[in-house]
Chain A
């Protein structure tokens, strides 16, 4: 196995992200769940830093921790008229738990039996500048997917506006 990352930092961040996810699932209050999600997102951004993906870590913070969580909280605010509405009974599902457990264990079995072909990390870790260069390289770059992604966002934006506007009746 080629290089490794700091185990202690990983352990802390992994604990934080799993804790955040469990917090989302275990919260009775929807608002609390939103905050737990925020916590999990920040922890994952830290994991990205550990993986020397600084740009992604930044985007993760901006998009998930910033935009998505705030958006979620806004929707909660708009749809719950009274404070008590936010508190709801915990939903448990045995079949869901079985499914998730089976799914997780299958993935674990898969990973355990699968040799990941590991390449050597270059001596100088590619930085954000290198990322940008590859992204916009003329040959073998990601320009077309990038443009399509922007189009997808635009369409989603229009769709969201369309759906959330008041009915004109």
Chain B
């Protein structure tokens, strides 16, 4: 398989310091095309900084970031043109309608899209004439994913996309991520939700203090833990509270 040899993202020994604090301390990994790559880690572990270096939004102190064969440092504009970005804190122009925001960002990428079609991918087509300021938190999050898709990206970076979403919206977003993956894009996802990582990610990097302390498929990581003789304290029940909540409130998306 050619896919196995040509990684779409290469991070080589990335390092970044903010003053005395080392945010990223020698992170290296490769992401294959079509993969959903998860980055897990506590707050301040360096996930976002790593992602931002890959996005070309921050310069690494040392190390190399290569996206689709292009060194991010050499040609950040070319890299930005072919990636989709969803930032942790998203802000758009408050007084623009959603369709206008999508149109604007499509123009910034010189892409021709139908705003309504893009909005319908995240289930916001019925809100196309609403202004950004009128949206709920979950809708804002979904809009930011829609905007990240305007240029039909090779690599999609999702930084904590489901933080602050209700279980319905989160499941809908998972569905969307799988759809995007099926469309051929590679996805880099950071999250705090383990079930999300387990559900979506093909491989997971666990980041701690700016270093990757584990990198494998979710199943392999669990197997490794079990092989050390680890036993969970409580037997996992067949359903969890998430299922209870969804059973009670339904799977329909709320606004």
A binds B: no
Interface residues of B (CB under 8 A from A): none
